[in-house]
Amino acid sequence: MALSQYEIQRARNVERHNERLRQLGLISAVEAERSNAAAWKKPYVSSTAADSVIKPEPAKESRKRKSAAKKRGAGDEPQSTRGRKSLRLQGLQPDGAKEVVDENDAEHKETLRKRRAVLSREARQQAALKTSELGFDKAAQENRTATYEHCLMRVRTMSEKALANRIRTIERRAGKHSVVKMAIFKCCLHDEGMEDLSKSASEALERLKALEPPPED
């Protein structure tokens, strides 16, 4: 079914906002693809193998080590490391017993959530830095650590009811930077494990994207 001119304009607004949010590191490539597909009313087909968690490049191996590895054979372990793996790397406790982790344990889940939150936050900060290096200085300033930290502080000190009201307020005002504000708010809610509120913020974010094109900074 062909889209109306109104729907086409909204879809273009969404695409432009998604490009900007990607530059700021506030959404992943997968999120942008899903959002664009929904805006154009097309089925979502991922062209990205993994979500946009920024991973450090592996250290380059020296020629000397490569040569030694070639002589040993691909499957051989370096002589210097044989029999020297720590108990921690083997998943053993100090007494040598195998450590058993309950995947459904609340403490274990919380530890994993915090670890993912740190990785997510670092990815956004690295993306903002890369954005600045590419010349999007003013846009990158909107996602500086202080902005994220300020929002995170509010998320940690406000009640769930107040947070829900905050989502509605940002959407209702629909100010110049409302899309960026909502995206940061969504990230903070997600990082703090408030999935229901994060989902509400995501839905509000999609509605805001379609309203107006991003401001010309």
Query: What tokens appear for 50 in the block?
Result: 């993994």
Cα separation, 113 vs 210, in Å, equals 31
List the chain residues with pLDDT less than 50: 49-59, 74, 77, 80-81, 128, 131-137, 139-140, 142-146
3-state secondary structure of 83: coil
Long-range interactions of 57-61: CB distance < 8 A, separation 24+: none
Encoded amino acid at 201, one letter = A
Neighbours of 153 (CB within 10 A): 11
3-state secondary structure of 203: helix
Length of the chain: 217
Q: Helices 178-191 & 195-211, crossing angle to 10 degrees?
A: 160
Contact 23, 40 (CB under 8 A): no
- Residue 76 gets which letter from DSSP? P
pLDDT tens digits for range 13-52: 999 999 988 888 888 889 999 999 999 999 988 775 444 4
Predicted local confidence at residue 170, as pLDDT: 93
Task: Tell me how far CA of residue 173 lies from CA of 27, 148, 170, 181, 211, in angstroms.
Answer: 22, 20, 5, 11, 12
Predicted local confidence at residue 69, as pLDDT: 56
- Residue 175 gets which letter from DSSP? -
Encoded amino acid at 41, one letter = K
Q: Which residue has the tokens 């906002």?
A: 17
3-state secondary structure 38-106: HHCCCCCCCCCCCCCCCCCCCCCCCHHHHHHHHHHCCCCCCHHHCCCCCCCCCCECCCCCECCCCCCCH
Predicted local confidence at residue 19, as pLDDT: 93
Predicted local confidence at residue 11, as pLDDT: 96
Mean pLDDT for the chain overall? 75
Contact 206, 17 (CB under 8 A): no
Neighbours of 87 (CB within 10 A): 13
* Terminal-to-terminal C-alpha distance of the chain: 35
**What is the distance, to the nearest Å, from the Cα of residue 53 to the centroid of all Cα atoms in its chain?**
6
Sequence spans of domains, the chain: 11-40+107-212
Q: Kindly state the percentage of the chain with pLDDT values over 70.
A: 59
